[in-house]
Amino acid sequence: MQKLKVFGANKLKGQIKISGSKNASLPILAATLLSNKKIILKNLPKVLDIKTMLDLLKSLGSKIKIKNNQTIIDNTKQKNFFASYNLVKTMRAGILVLGPLLAKYGSAKVSLPGGCAIGTRPVDIHLKAFSRLGVKYKIDHGYVIANAPNGLKGNKIRFSKISVGATENLIIAASFAKGNTILSNCAIEPEIKDLVKFLNKMGCKIKWISKRTIKIIGVKDVKEIFYSVMFDRIEAGTYLIAAAVTEGNLKIQNIIPEVIKTEIDILKKIGSKIITKKNEVQIIGNKKIKNLNIRTAPYPGFPTDLQAQMMVLLCKANKSSIIQEDIFENRFMHVGELNRMGAKIITNGNKAIINGNINFAPAELMATDLRASVSLILAALTAKGKSVINRIYHLDRGYENIEKKFKKVGAKIKRVN
């Protein structure tokens, strides 16, 4: 099993180009199942979750070629509607093929999803919404077995809770439903806006009619398209925090600063100097870090996927801070590892109280999930000496060439078997 050796403490300096968004690519890849024509996608990140989704599409009958950083998907002979546990077990996004398969065939058998052990990911919100489109379903031996004998029929659906996955699944499915569908209390993450943009370019008829409400007019067919996926805002946020925690000076490129305005504003509040340009953000870390209380929330709030990284930064703040985790109930698993490095963090339910003025000490560490893995790298980058991070396969699910990008800006980091 591979591990990372990290030698601190260096100030990061230079430029980092951000990859395509994992969280935008996954629903877009699922949505390609609607098409019987060729689709060319650009800017897919080279990460494990994308490979898993491509393998899932292949298992469903899609023909896929990767050429010159473009992914060509041909579904002319795609006829399978069974998504196996073996392919869905490592990522929650596997459930997103349920919508397009039901829309296309009126039938699907999809394994319940897996992913990081950061909390329950109930699919009941998806299933209740599908039932409003005329879907009958049951869960049997870990599989969702769903049928729409008369095809999907448009309806008014209000999500009981804001859910990124359910919003994506229903947008995709309703694109082929008969008549009109109104979805309200939708998630509005930039990745969902990117999915809508992709589907509309393909010939679907989707329109935002208020902040969290979407109108979808069902279509019967779509066209061949070329599409470039948006940048990864979580990767961008991770490197911004890396610059802040190491008192570095980084230019984060290939991004749209407005999309990560919340993160930029928070980093300014804690003392970082930030200069924004059209497709770039420069961040200069400050030795004095101000304390701050943060709560995670659906977009445009502070993202749960940056909570672990921000916790590392707040360990260096001048006073104590509080992070309230309002998205997942089990997302403080990195706390024990950070405390082993000298942090003083106390958890109480969904709150973490972070005492500041900490100098991290190097240690042997164990990664527990995707974002926790990278938070341990950030802490190790500030610790004088060698840290070793085990179980880094989590990292490869969501960060493209992470050690190469860190090395390029002055980090001493090495992958070993």
Beta strands per DSSP E along 96-200: 107-111, 136-140, 143-147, 156-158, 180-184
334 and 306 Cβ atoms separated by less than 8 Å: no
241 and 306 Cβ atoms separated by less than 8 Å: yes
Q: Please write down the HEC assignment for all residues of 252-311.
A: EECCCHHHHHHHHHHHHHCCCEEEECCCEEEEECCCCCCCCEEEECCCCCECHHHHHHHH
Catalytic residue among 116, 186, 204, 315: 116
CA distance 299 to 283: 22
Runs of H (alpha helix) within 181-258:
190-202, 233-245
Question: Which residues pair with residue 136 across a beta bridge?
Answer: 147
Residue with tokens 């504003």: 265
Residue 186 annotated as catalytic: no
- Judging by DSSP bridges, how do beta strands 70-74 and 273-276 pair with one another? unpaired
Neighbours of 366 (CB within 10 A): 18
- Measured between alpha carbons, how far is residue 267 from residues 143, 157, 253, 308 in Å? 43, 37, 17, 15
29 and 214 Cβ atoms separated by less than 8 Å: no
How is the beta sheet containing 205-210 ordered, strand by strand?
156-158, 180-184, 213-217, 205-210
Active site residues: 116
